[in-house]
Amino acid sequence: MDNIVWADLLNNYIMPLLVIVGRILLVVAPLIISMAYLTYAERKVLASMQMRQGPMMVGPFGLLQPIADGLKLLGKETIIPSGANRVVFVMAPMLTFMLSLVAWAVIPVDAHFVVSNINVGILYLFAISSLGVYGILMAGWASNSRYAFLGGLRSAAQMVSYEVSIGLVLVTVLLTTGSLNLTTIVEVDKPFWVDLLLFPMFIVFVISALAETNRAPFDLPEGESELVGGYNVEYSSMTFALFFLGEYMNMILMSAMTTVLFLGGWHPPFGIGFLSFLPGFIWFMLKVCFVLFIFIWTRATLPRYRYDQLMRLGWKVFLPFTLVWVVLTAGILLYAGALPGMPDVVTPVTGM
């Protein structure tokens, strides 16, 4: 009898739990390594664009530099300001880092690999990305510093502004695919002209992602020239490192979202059949790297916006444009009979 109970426990509870934990580790471990070497790649790309060397001394070609940076931060002392709220001060970077990891639960890396293939994946991602502002707000308030508080307020206004544009971009994608499931969004076979219709929203999404992740030229919350580092100015050691990790993890997350929504996910570019000899997850990673290169390229090329320019772009340009484009997309799809779920033949209603 005991053997039956143990077998039932193993098959129904322990094994499914181990499978879930294994899937999580298969996503999280490469993510942590990718984040570390994204810092290395960014420094190398920026150095190449500015005609200098970048990391080159620690290990061959400087490849051990991210590990050296991590060990240095681990060895530093965590200093908490005397006037700070200690609990909130420590919780803020932990929240930022955790949210950047939790969002990956619904990102499909390949046709058959996703931690949780839920039907409302888009809503889940939108909810998690919206929560990201709380970690920065908590850090700005708990530090008991005017500079950190101003950085937190800037970030709240900035992220809320560009969340609206991102939401309308997602609505446009949903109109063309008819599903909230991310795997289905990748698999939907859309006509070529629908992809052209989505291209302006792709541009808006990438620019909004720059603002959402506080990256140049929209890195106003941490403006070094006027806020001495902004919301994280009072942080040191691993508490600072968690903010740093969270920023780069969010960059990878937004690049993955761009890949799933606009670049065909794990499929070869432009549906070219002979390129399918590579596994799907390789194509997914290459597309994510391409979007990350756009992030870095933008940082190396464009000067920082003023804060009023940032707000004007979000509310006076992107908001009206995305609203008009949602209506225009819906109208074109309806006229062409390409709206998902729309019957092929509409029977007119006749009166009695």
Least confident of 6-15, 140-149, 317-326, 327-336: 6-15
Domain-located, residue 40: yes
Nearest to 243, CA basis, from 230, 256, 255: 230
The answer to whether 288 and 256 are in contact (CB under 8 A) is yes
* pLDDT band at residue 152 under the 50/70/90 scheme: confident
Tally of domains in the chain: 2
| 180: three-class secondary structure by DSSP | coil
pLDDT at residue 347, as a whole number: 47
Statement to judge: residues 67 and 189 lie in one domain: no
Does pLDDT of 102 surpass 50? yes
Nearest Cα neighbor of 124 from 246, 215, 35, 253 is 253
| 58, 173, 218, 222 from 166: Cα distances, Å | 40, 11, 16, 22
Decide which of 138 and 223 is more confident: 138
Shared domain check, 304 and 247: yes
Query: For position 205, what pLDDT does the model report?
Result: 94
Q: Return the half-sphere exposure (C-beta side, CA atoms, 13 A cut-off) of residue 61.
A: 6
Tell me whether residue 341 is in a domain. no
Look up residue 184 and give its two tokens.
């289905």
Average pLDDT, the chain: 85
Residues 68, 85 within the same domain: no
Domain boundary among 43, 75, 107: 75
Q: Which of 31, 55, 75 is the last residue of a domain?
A: 75
Shared-domain flag, residues 253 and 288: yes
User: Amino acid letter at 190?
Assistant: K
Residues 25, 149 within the same domain: no
Separation between Cα atoms, residue 142 and residue 3, nearest integer Å: 54
Indicate whether 159 and 239 sit together in one domain: yes
Confidence of residue 260 (pLDDT cuts 50, 70, 90): very high
In 3D space, the residue among 77, 110, 114, 108 whose CA is nearest the CA of residue 241 turns out to be 77
Residue 341 — very low, low, confident or very high, per pLDDT cuts 50/70/90?
A: low
Task: Identify the pLDDT of residue 348.
Answer: 47
- Identify the DSSP state of 318: I
Q: Which domain holds residue 131?
A: 80-336
Tell me: do 23 and 118 sit in the same domain.
no
84 and 227 share one domain = yes
- Tens-place pLDDT, residues 225-236: 676 777 888 888
